[in-house]
């Protein structure tokens, strides 16, 4: 439903402002959309069956994957400062999310795979889709997410989930649920908010080197902590605050070294 709202909005805006939606090259746009949407499916799917600490730490391994892929397969020279910044930022992530090693299992590979796919998305955006318009990439991404959602609805319509299966996998194992008025309001807020956020993120990956942009995505955790405090008075403990400081330090290092 979110994809329908966003894609319809993009088509309307493109018609009014005469933006180009058709990609210059379908193949890299489709590949990039597949990487991004698959990463989100794995991330949110894993969040329904695993502790959020493991899921978050896995997804935020993406900058590490970016550095490894860029250095080993793309011939990019990665300076010691950027390596240090990524390691500092990732240490901050671990302090905030507090992953529990005792609960690790084969399912831990799901968020790590999401991190790998998210890294590939960033690389594809910069190296293969830099000439595409941001509107084109947004349309491809949300259309791909819509396809994943439609496939999920079809699957559970043909193979209804049992109560036991739903209890084990949470929302990820549910089919169609009749929307409520409150849901529709939240849907619109989330749709337009994510449209703006993903547009800014996509444009950032088009304009700057991937290993620079990826580190700044750690700021997600800083803002998550801020809004958690504003909305629910959820005050982070000292360990989480130290993690936020490390993330900030990583961003400052990247900013200074990129000048």
DSSP string, 40-58: HHHHHHHHTTS-HHHHHHH
Domain count, the chain: 1
| Inside any domain, residue 228 | yes
| Inside any domain, residue 50 | yes
Domain with 47, as residue range(s), is: 2-252
Condensed to tens digits (0 to 9), the pLDDT of residues 170-213 reads: 777 788 889 999 999 999 999 999 999 888 888 887 787 766 77
**Closest to 13 (Cα-Cα) out of 199, 190, 148:** 199
Q: What is the pLDDT of residue 154?
A: 93
pLDDT reading at 89 higher than 90: no
| Inside any domain, residue 259 | no
Q: What is the pLDDT of residue 35?
A: 95
pLDDT reading at 87 higher than 80: yes
Condensed to tens digits (0 to 9), the pLDDT of residues 27-47 reads: 999 999 999 999 999 988 887
Cβ-based neighbours of 139, under 8 Å, separated by 6 or more: 7, 10, 11, 21
Q: What is the pLDDT of residue 15?
A: 92
| Inside any domain, residue 81 | yes
Q: What is the pLDDT of residue 186?
A: 93
Q: At what angle do helices 181-207 and 109-127 cross, to 10 degrees?
A: 50
pTM of the model: 0.79
| Inside any domain, residue 193 | yes
**Closest to 217 (Cα-Cα) out of 191, 247, 241, 242:** 247
Average predicted confidence (pLDDT) for the chain: 82
| Inside any domain, residue 258 | no
| Inside any domain, residue 257 | no
Rounded to whole angstroms, what are the CA distances from 71 to 67, 74, 125, 140, 173?
A: 6, 6, 17, 28, 39
Stretch 144-152: mean pLDDT, rounded?
94
Per-residue confidence band for 151, with pLDDT thresholds at 50, 70 and 90: very high
Condensed to tens digits (0 to 9), the pLDDT of residues 9-29 reads: 999 999 999 988 999 999 999
Q: What are phi and psi of 52, to 5 degrees?
A: -60, -25
| Inside any domain, residue 113 | yes
Q: What is the pLDDT of residue 102?
A: 62
pLDDT reading at 113 higher than 80: yes
């Amino acid at each position: 439903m979110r994809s329908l709202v966003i894609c319809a909005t993009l088509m309307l805006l493109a018609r009014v402002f005469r933006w180009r939606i058709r990609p210059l090259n379908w193949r890299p746009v489709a590949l990039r959309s597949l990487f991004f949407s698959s990463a989100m499916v794995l991330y949110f799917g894993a969040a329904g069956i695993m502790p959020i600490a493991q899921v978050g730490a896995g997804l935020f391994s993406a900058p590490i994957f970016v550095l490894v892929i860029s250095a080993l397969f793309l011939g990019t020279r990665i300076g010691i400062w950027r390596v240090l910044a990524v390691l500092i930022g990732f240490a901050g992530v671990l302090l905030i999310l507090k992953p529990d090693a005792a609960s690790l299992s084969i399912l831990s590979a799901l968020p790590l795979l999401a991190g790998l796919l998210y890294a590939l998305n960033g690389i594809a955006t910069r190296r293969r889709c830099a000439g595409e318009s941001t509107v084109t990439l947004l349309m491809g991404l949300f259309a791909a997410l819509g396809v994943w959602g439609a496939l999920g609805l079809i699957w559970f319509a043909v193979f209804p989930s049992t109560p036991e299966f739903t209890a084990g996998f949470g929302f990820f194992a549910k089919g169609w649920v009749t929307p409520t008025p409150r849901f529709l309001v939240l849907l619109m807020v989330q749709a337009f908010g994510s449209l703006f956020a993903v547009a800014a993120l996509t444009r950032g990956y088009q304009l700057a080197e991937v290993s620079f942009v990826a580190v700044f995505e750690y700021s997600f955790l800083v803002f998550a902590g801020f809004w958690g405090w504003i909305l629910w008075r959820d005050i982070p403990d000292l360990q989480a605050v130290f993690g936020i400081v490390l993330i900030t330090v990583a961003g400052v290092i990247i900013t200074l070294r990129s000048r």
